[in-house]
Amino acid sequence: MLYASRYLRLMDPLMVGPDVQYVQKRLTELGFYTGPVNGVYSPETRDSVIKAQQSFSPTVDGIVGPETYERLQLVNDVVLGDIRP
């Protein structure tokens, strides 16, 4: 799976997948997310993405695209499949 294969955002139905789980895990490591790491892009996940973007990105929209992936340092993790503990 490539990191930019899709943009993660709040949708109906909710987006689900391992890419969402990677983002939740990284947001947890960085202290932005305290919810379940379950691979569901919920309103709580979006709110955590916004908090993270407010701290490191000029674009604050709650959408995880290439810039946010890069800022979360997920590019190598997702592309190489090397998810850090």
Evaluate if residue 79 carries a pLDDT over 50: no
* pLDDT for residue 80: 44
Residue 49: Cβ within 10 Å count: 27
Structure tokens at 63: 């959408």
* pLDDT for residue 57: 81
* pLDDT for residue 4: 53
Q: Which CATH architecture has domain 18-80?
A: Orthogonal Bundle (1.10)
For the stretch 1-35, pLDDT in tens is 345 579 999 999 999 999 999 999 999 999 999 99
85 pLDDT tier (thresholds 50, 70, 90): very low
Q: What is the pTM of this model?
A: 0.81
Structure tokens at 10: 């709040």
Q: Give me the residue spans of the domains in the chain.
A: 18-80
Contact 73, 66 (CB under 8 A): no
DSSP collapsed to 3 states, the chain: CCCCCCCECCCCCCCECHHHHHHHHHHHHCCCCCCCCCCECCHHHHHHHHHHHHHHCCCCCCCECHHHHHHCCCHHHHHHCCCCC
